[in-house]
Structure 1
Amino acid sequence: MSESADARPLPGPDGLPFVGSFLEFRRDPFAFYDDLREYGGVVGYRMMGYDMCSVLDPDAIEDVLLNEADAFQKPALLGESLDDYMAEGVLLTEGEQWRAQRTMLQPMFYRERVEGYGDLMADYAVEAAAEWASDGEVDVQSATSDLTLRILARTLFDVDLDERAAVVREFADAVSEIGRAGSLESQLPGWVPLPSRRRHRRAFENFDDALRNLVDERRASGGSGDDTPDDLLTLLLDADYPDGSTPSETEIRDQLMTFLFAGHETTALALTWAFVLLERRPETYDRLRQEVDDVLDDDRAAVADLPDLTYTDWVAREVLRLRPPAGALFREPREDVELAGYHVPEGTMVVLPQFAVQTDPRFFEAPEEFRPERWAGDLEDDLPDYAYFPFGGGPRHCIGMRFAALELRLALATIVRNVDVSVRNPDVDPDLGTPFAPAEDVRADVTER
């Protein structure tokens, strides 16, 4: 990515010595990004000694993710707290290692294969809805996390993780805390002995033990071969790379960690936010109920129903616009680069804030409002390509995008068909981080329809 001699320095706030803009960001990340928009589409600042660059212009985002993707990499800081457990997973690897992994894993997420999971997704959603109604009250994020974890474990690993679910949730909570906006663990070097680091390490080690037991059980049942399930675990155990090598034990473990965390948490958060946002706008909730009642012949949605579940699709799109699962993506230039005419030095943390771009008034009318019907017209065709990118973009777009999108729509329609989920605290705010989770528990009353 060549840089012209007249590339300009990044505009942006000066901030305080050493901490830079950290205090403003931690106090109110949303107000902080509102202020950043005043500097333009590519803005520089500092936080805790690190050079930062937020990209708010869709064309520049496209350059980072697609046109000049090879000029950028995942930041070292992003994976520092997870290196011992996910460094060999496809989320954090780079270069030829990442390309080989992506090629190996991609067949698991082809459209035909993913759609083959549809009935199972809906079946589990029916079971979950019945359990929620029986309980009468649920923690929505915990309940949806249980649902999506069961779906993922069965479809991609052909196992029942019920007895291991608590360990997975502890691991997911640890990753979420590390990625939370302004957390000390995400800002301070790994050698600083924070109490949270000890607690998170225990969660990772327990998860590690559970996954190693899972692999041992599969191998003890006959290893790999024709009699084993056609799933992701078998793929990893049987895989051969073009150079003749095979995935190491560490890589298998890291891939399982990556998919079990990212694969279930993405849809769980989207479902949680869907019920929060629907509670805020009763007329939208009523319209969604009416559609699923009109379209579905029984108590569950199927892949064949999706073309007629138009409003359900709009709801899903709007949830992902307002509450994208990751909140932001992060990259780092491999060397000094020019971006939208500005000089971005090597090592700068480049932030692609989906939550801010997808609520930019330049692209969306009443951007902070939950309006699924905005997707009824030509909005998608009229938007710049990277004004809406909840699953990322370019060669490193979310490999499980089709899986998550199908699961969200089928689970949402099926749950709404069976039960009413009435959120008690619909004014809950998001906690800006990775993932983009609610800042407090989301409690709901659940009744059969």
Structure 2
Amino acid sequence: MATAQAPRTGSGVGTEIPRLEGSPLLGSLADLKSDALGTYLRAQHRHGDVVRIAAGPPGLRTELHCVFSAEGAQQVLASQAANFRKDNALYQEVRNAFGNGLLTSQDEDYMRQRRLVQPLFTKRRVDGYADAVASETAATLAAWEEAADGVVDVADEMMTLALRAVSRILFGTDVDATADVVDRCFPVITAYVMRRGYSPVNVPRDWPTPGNKRAAAALDELYAICDAIIAERRSPRAGAGAGAGAATETGPEAGAAGAPGEDLLSLLAAATSADDGEFDATELREQVLIFLLAGHETTATSLAFTLHLLGRHPELQDRARAEIAAVLGDRAPGAADLDRLPYLTQVLKEAMRLYPAAPALGRRSVAAAEVDGYAIPAGADVIVAPWVIHRHPEYWPDPERFDPDRFTPEAEAARPRYAWLPFGGGPRACIGQHFSMLESVIALAMLLRAYEFEAVDTDISVTAGITLRTTSPARCRIRRVEG
């Protein structure tokens, strides 16, 4: 791997960062728009672990300071996290669309929200959502009985499964209406957010352009259904079921998703403390929208690529299925099985290495800093790229090979902490890590016990949106497991 030897900067803080060459007029803008992830990989291969990438015409040019090492990621996300904030253009567009929830809030707003929400994401509480995940996975299996020619697009199917699971956990019995609205509106909104977040110039959001009007209509529909359900949950009749202590764990029923007053929205509505108060209706909607955004697209990506990779490696699929059969037999999986399925968990982690749902994490520096030995100026746009770090040959020999044995306990202990970061890291690490792993392992166990998967499309194209998305079919032929 080439590592640039640059002169010291005049500030005396780190060495000057090498730059990926682009066109004189637009820099690397066209490359980033057509294949941002490939551009990041090329930058790392040519210049090393910290690289500048310029994009846009002179006068409107953005310069990205890209970090591709585990050490650099740890500095940006953890040890120097206070200096690297969510102040870039993309995060502002996400705020404009989805509100100032846990994903986008900062400073005291973030700390207050985290304190109110944290009791809802303890291990014990999250484990109570296992039955809801199993129920939605069973519905997917039932639908597959009618799969034409025995072929399904696992990207589409897992998006539906994950959306219905998180909607059931959030809204309880209101799952059908909310899932339909989210499925219809989210793609319009996320495409709009990405387009504006990466454009050097945007027209005001209230101008009556076709794009603005489509996004506004989708947001109005999404807000309306969330606000209606929130109002119902906060009615006196609903409040009697939840109670003021619903956000604390008070008994064995804690976390029983779908029980009266126990869906996540009811618990959010009831969350309160003497110091932090409670969420008002707008704040509730913002938290719900962020949970919908972060809670279904990320898990869907992990599930889809795990199934597709196993569909290309039948011997590893058989090994995972044998473990599932030995642990579960014919019974439904539960939260306790997460620790009893270590190989299936390794398979999932390796799929998340190759296809991290958050392939690039953006920040903006407050003050000049040094990251992995390089000088980052104040006000710089910084990209930490798990997509590249997860393929770094220093941590991952033969990085494109699918090998779940990379995640044995011994192998994990031998690597730097931030060599694998599908959930981010530091004080802003994803609050839903345990839920995502629980949901994924339960769903995979049920799907693999029932069906064999054979990849039909062997080369899947992806793009970096708010989350990683497929841009080509990800079809698998499915066959019922005999016996």
- Counterpart of 1:110, as a letter, is T
- 1:165 alignment partner in structure 2: 179
> C-alpha deviations, 1:232-278, integer Å up to 9, x for none?
32233234465565423221111111001211111111111112111
The 2-side partners of 1:246 and 1:373 are apart by 45
Q: Contact 1:141/1:268 (CA < 8 Å) preserved in 2?
A: yes
Report the Cα offset of residue 220 of structure 1: 3.8
- 2:87 alignment partner in structure 1: 75
- Counterpart of 2:422, as a letter, is P
Report the Cα offset of residue 226 of structure 1: 4.3
Report the Cα offset of residue 316 of structure 1: 0.6
Of 32-41 and 400-409, the range deviating more from structure 2: 32-41
- Counterpart of 2:424, as a letter, is G
Alignment of 1:243-262 (within 5 A): 243=275, 245-262=277-294
The alpha-carbon distance between structure 1 residues 51 and 109, as it changes in their structure 2 partners (threshold 3 A), is same
State TM-score, norm by structure 1. 0.91
The alpha-carbon distance between structure 1 residues 414 and 42, as it changes in their structure 2 partners (threshold 3 A), is same
The 2-side partners of 1:244 and 1:12 are apart by 46
Report the Cα offset of residue 91 of structure 1: 0.6
- Counterpart of 2:471, as a letter, is A
Which residue, out of 283, 286, 293, partners 2:325? 293
Which residue, out of 139, 143, 155, partners 2:153? 139
Report the Cα offset of residue 291 of structure 1: 2.1
Q: Contact 2:97/2:193 (CA < 8 Å) preserved in 1?
A: no
- 2:432 alignment partner in structure 1: 400
Q: Is 1:44 the counterpart of 2:59 in the alignment? A: no
Q: Contact 1:176/1:434 (CA < 8 Å) preserved in 2?
A: yes
The alpha-carbon distance between structure 1 residues 253 and 25, as it changes in their structure 2 partners (threshold 3 A), is same
The 2-side partners of 1:140 and 1:244 are apart by 42
Of 5-14 and 70-79, the range deviating more from structure 2: 5-14
Q: Is 1:13 the counterpart of 2:27 in the alignment? A: no
- 2:248 alignment partner in structure 1: none
The alpha-carbon distance between structure 1 residues 202 and 231, as it changes in their structure 2 partners (threshold 3 A), is same
Which residue, out of 230, 233, 243, partners 2:262? 230
Q: Contact 2:162/2:297 (CA < 8 Å) preserved in 1?
A: yes
The 2-side partners of 1:39 and 1:371 are apart by 27
Which residue, out of 251, 256, 264, partners 2:296? 264
The 1-side partners of 2:288 and 2:262 are apart by 15
Alignment of 1:50-61 (within 5 A): 50-61=62-73
Which residue, out of 108, 128, 139, partners 1:127? 139
The alpha-carbon distance between structure 1 residues 321 and 236, as it changes in their structure 2 partners (threshold 3 A), is same
Unpaired runs of 5+ residues, structure 2, are 1-9, 243-259
Q: Is 1:369 the counterpart of 2:425 in the alignment? A: no
Q: Is 1:204 the counterpart of 2:219 in the alignment? A: yes
Report the Cα offset of residue 104 of structure 1: 0.7
Q: Contact 1:172/1:265 (CA < 8 Å) preserved in 2?
A: no
Report the Cα offset of residue 225 of structure 1: 4.1
Report the Cα offset of residue 30 of structure 1: 4.2
The alpha-carbon distance between structure 1 residues 6 and 273, as it changes in their structure 2 partners (threshold 3 A), is closer
- Counterpart of 2:283, as a letter, is E
Q: Contact 2:29/2:55 (CA < 8 Å) preserved in 1?
A: yes
Q: Contact 1:167/1:207 (CA < 8 Å) preserved in 2?
A: yes
The 2-side partners of 1:44 and 1:388 are apart by 23
- How large is the Cα RMSD of the aligned pairs? 2.4
Report the Cα offset of residue 419 of structure 1: 2.2
Which residue, out of 95, 104, 112, partners 2:124? 112
More contact order relative to length (CA 8 Å, sep ≥ 6): 1
- Counterpart of 1:55, as a letter, is V
The 2-side partners of 1:197 and 1:230 are apart by 37
The alpha-carbon distance between structure 1 residues 404 and 175, as it changes in their structure 2 partners (threshold 3 A), is farther
Q: Is 1:66 the counterpart of 2:73 in the alignment? A: no
State TM-score, norm by structure 2. 0.85
- 1:148 alignment partner in structure 2: 162
Q: Contact 1:85/1:204 (CA < 8 Å) preserved in 2?
A: yes
- Counterpart of 1:112, as a letter, is R
Q: Contact 1:58/1:386 (CA < 8 Å) preserved in 2?
A: yes
Of 323-332 and 306-315, the range deviating more from structure 2: 306-315
> C-alpha deviations, 1:5-24, integer Å up to 9, x for none?
34333221243345221123
- Counterpart of 1:287, as a letter, is R
> C-alpha deviations, 1:70-97, integer Å up to 9, x for none?
1111133012333333232111011010
The 2-side partners of 1:139 and 1:116 are apart by 30
Which residue, out of 456, 464, 467, partners 1:424? 456
- Counterpart of 2:239, as a letter, is S
- Counterpart of 1:203, as a letter, is A
SS in structure 2 at match of 1:45: strand
Residue-pair matches, total = 445
- 2:105 alignment partner in structure 1: 93
Q: Contact 2:181/2:222 (CA < 8 Å) preserved in 1?
A: yes
